[in-house]
Amino acid sequence: MLKHNATFPARQVVQLLLFILLPLHVFAQTDYKASIDLNNVVDDQLQVSIQLPKIQEDTVEFRFPKIVPGTYSIYDFGRFVTGFRAYDSEGNLLAVQELTANRRLIKEASKLSRITYWVEDTYDTDRGNFVFEPAGTNIVEGDNFILNTFGFIGYLEGYQNLPYSLDLKHPSKLYGSSGLQKISKSDSIDTFSAPNYFDLADGPIMYCEPDTTTFNLGGTEIMVSVYSPNKVSKADVVSGYIRETLEAQAKYLDGQLPVDRYVFLIHHFDGLFSGSLSLGALEHSYSSLYSLPELNPILIAQTLKDFIAHEFFHIVTPLNIHSEEIASFDFIEPKMSKHLWLYEGVTEYAAGLAQVKYGQMDLDQYVEMLLGKIKNTGRYNDSLPFTELSEKCLDEHKAQYGNVYQKGALIGLCLLGKKRTNIKP
């Protein structure tokens, strides 16, 4: 505590004056604060507002991903963005130049304070270049929102390692599930946080009427969240199949799952086929997102188990074991590694093996599955080296990508089968 008659050495006086006179930018915002109001849907679009960290450059690029980890297609998420505006702290517009679909150049950037823009969802777009649903976005007012965060939020080039917070206002009847850290401020406002852009992009969020269940397996908290438009599928039923699969995988991994929490986001579309909607899933570090037809879970139990076994095993690779290209992922100019045989092939092999080894699939089913993969390799160029396929899967060998789930799994069988199989008929 300072007293009114205290005396200071000259050096302390100088330090105090410097502290008082420090430029305001020293105390300026050093993170991203994004907000989206799910109550305000206009023409099937949502508006995004982001308070930005203070920068010193005269110009800066705000970027949306061209591609995201776990996918092997160019999606150009910036093409779903319209009405991009940049403002200074007094609300004045700053000049913006659209360089590409994914890059916006902001001028007088040292004055930059916030940006706003609108985002159209991918599920029912007419913009072409189909986006695989688990990597996409869905906006159904008052009912369901699939928020793959990379489809709504971008980053300032050079500032992607700063923290993010995301405020989501939502109808009180809807619940938001995600592997991201979440704070509920009320029954209609949630805040999600991430230490950087990569981790934010790694955390999809699903809002729907709450149908969730939670269980603990070997010290790992598992949450299952289900959206079923006609209430055909239920979280408590689906979680039974998930638990059986994870129990087998825990045994395969020497008794322990590699994370302390994990969220399964199950999005069912209406009917067996609904427009262009397709079956599939996409992995993340603490969650995975599934697109499945709305059928009685009993009818798709094995499909569900296969998907879950594959996506959850991605925690091992590429989420933990990966090359430099994955560790330093470039959302704009991606560099593919030579390791798809490991990321997808060995994962697919292990997903089937764990099920048959620990009683989730009988041996005849497993052998039939392997024979099917042998047969399916005939649809692809069987003489193409997998390392070359991996490096050029975005362009030259794009049509060959599906072989990673066929021949890729067989490569895993050849490399690891003798050591790990140990199956008793």
Do residue 140 and residue 253 come from a single domain? no
Angle at 132 between CA 252 and CA 99, to 5 degrees: 125
Domain limits for position 301: 213-309
48 or 321: whose pLDDT is higher? 48
Do residue 41 and residue 89 come from a single domain? yes
Q: How confident is the model at residue 15 (pLDDT cuts 50, 70, 90)?
A: very low
Instruction: Report the pLDDT value the prediction gives residue 165, as an integer from 0 to 100.
Output: 98
Instruction: Report the pLDDT value the prediction gives residue 57, as an integer from 0 to 100.
Output: 94
pLDDT exceeds 60 at position 258: yes
**266-322 pLDDT, tens per residue?**
999 986 554 455 789 999 999 999 999 998 888 889 999 999 999 988 888 777 776
pLDDT exceeds 60 at position 13: no
Average pLDDT of span 140-162: 97
Residue 147 CA to residue 203 CA, distance in Å, equals 9
Instruction: Report the pLDDT value the prediction gives residue 380, as an integer from 0 to 100.
Output: 95
Q: How confident is the model at residue 19 (pLDDT cuts 50, 70, 90)?
A: very low
Does residue 208 sit within a domain?
Answer: no
Average pLDDT of span 215-227: 95
**168-216 pLDDT, tens per residue?**
999 999 999 999 999 988 999 999 999 999 999 999 999 999 999 999 9
Do residue 71 and residue 138 come from a single domain? yes
Instruction: State the virtual CA torsion across 399, 400, 404, 407 in degrees, nearest 10.
Output: 140
Q: Name the β-bridge partners of 266.
A: 226, 290
Instruction: Report the pLDDT value the prediction gives residue 355, as an integer from 0 to 100.
Output: 92
Instruction: Report the pLDDT value the prediction gives residue 382, as an integer from 0 to 100.
Output: 87
**332-371 pLDDT, tens per residue?**
988 888 888 888 889 999 999 999 999 999 999 999 999 9
3-class SS of residue 366: helix
Q: DSSP letters of 93-140? A: EE-EEEEETTEEEEESGGGEEEEEEEEE-STT-SSSSPPPGGGSEEEE
Q: Are 121 and 139 in contact (CB under 8 A)?
A: yes
Average pLDDT of span 320-337: 78
Residue 272 CA to residue 264 CA, distance in Å, equals 21
Do residue 220 and residue 350 come from a single domain? no
Which helix H or strand E contains 261, and what residues bound it? strand 261-269
Domain total of the chain: 3
Q: Give the CATH number of the domain where residue 282 resides.
A: 1.10.390.10
Q: Are 104 and 98 in contact (CB under 8 A)?
A: yes
Do residue 122 and residue 240 come from a single domain? no
Q: Give the CATH number of the domain where residue 127 resides.
A: 2.60.40.3650
Handedness of CA 289, 291, 297, 300 (dihedral sign): negative
Q: How confident is the model at residue 128 (pLDDT cuts 50, 70, 90)?
A: confident
pLDDT exceeds 90 at position 417: no
Residue 349 CA to residue 356 CA, distance in Å, equals 11
Average pLDDT of span 387-405: 92
**55-97 pLDDT, tens per residue?**
999 999 999 999 998 898 999 999 999 999 999 999 999 999 9
Residue 308 CA to residue 240 CA, distance in Å, equals 12
Average pLDDT of span 119-128: 92
Domain boundary among 162, 197, 228: 162
Domain boundary among 292, 309, 326: 309
Strands of 164-169's sheet in order across: 93-94, 81-88, 112-120, 45-51, 32-37, 164-169, 189-194, 181-186
Do residue 42 and residue 150 come from a single domain? yes
pLDDT exceeds 60 at position 138: yes
pLDDT exceeds 60 at position 22: no
Identify the top-confidence range among 22-36, 196-210, 387-401, 405-419. 196-210
Lowest-confidence region among 25-29, 187-191, 258-262: 25-29
Do residue 32 and residue 116 come from a single domain? yes
Do residue 276 and residue 356 come from a single domain? no
Instruction: Report the pLDDT value the prediction gives residue 341, as an integer from 0 to 100.
Output: 84
Tell me the whole-structure pTM to 2 decimals.
Answer: 0.88
* Residue 157, burial from CB neighbour count under 10 angstroms (0-12, 13-18, 19+): middle
Angle at 165 between CA 161 and CA 170, to 5 degrees: 145
Q: Name the β-bridge partners of 261.
A: 221
pLDDT exceeds 60 at position 374: yes
Reply yes or no: is the peptide bond before residue 318 cis, omega within 30 of 0: yes
Q: Name the β-bridge partners of 293.
A: 269
Residue 216 CA to residue 17 CA, distance in Å, equals 56
Does residue 5 sit within a domain?
Answer: no
pLDDT exceeds 90 at position 5: no
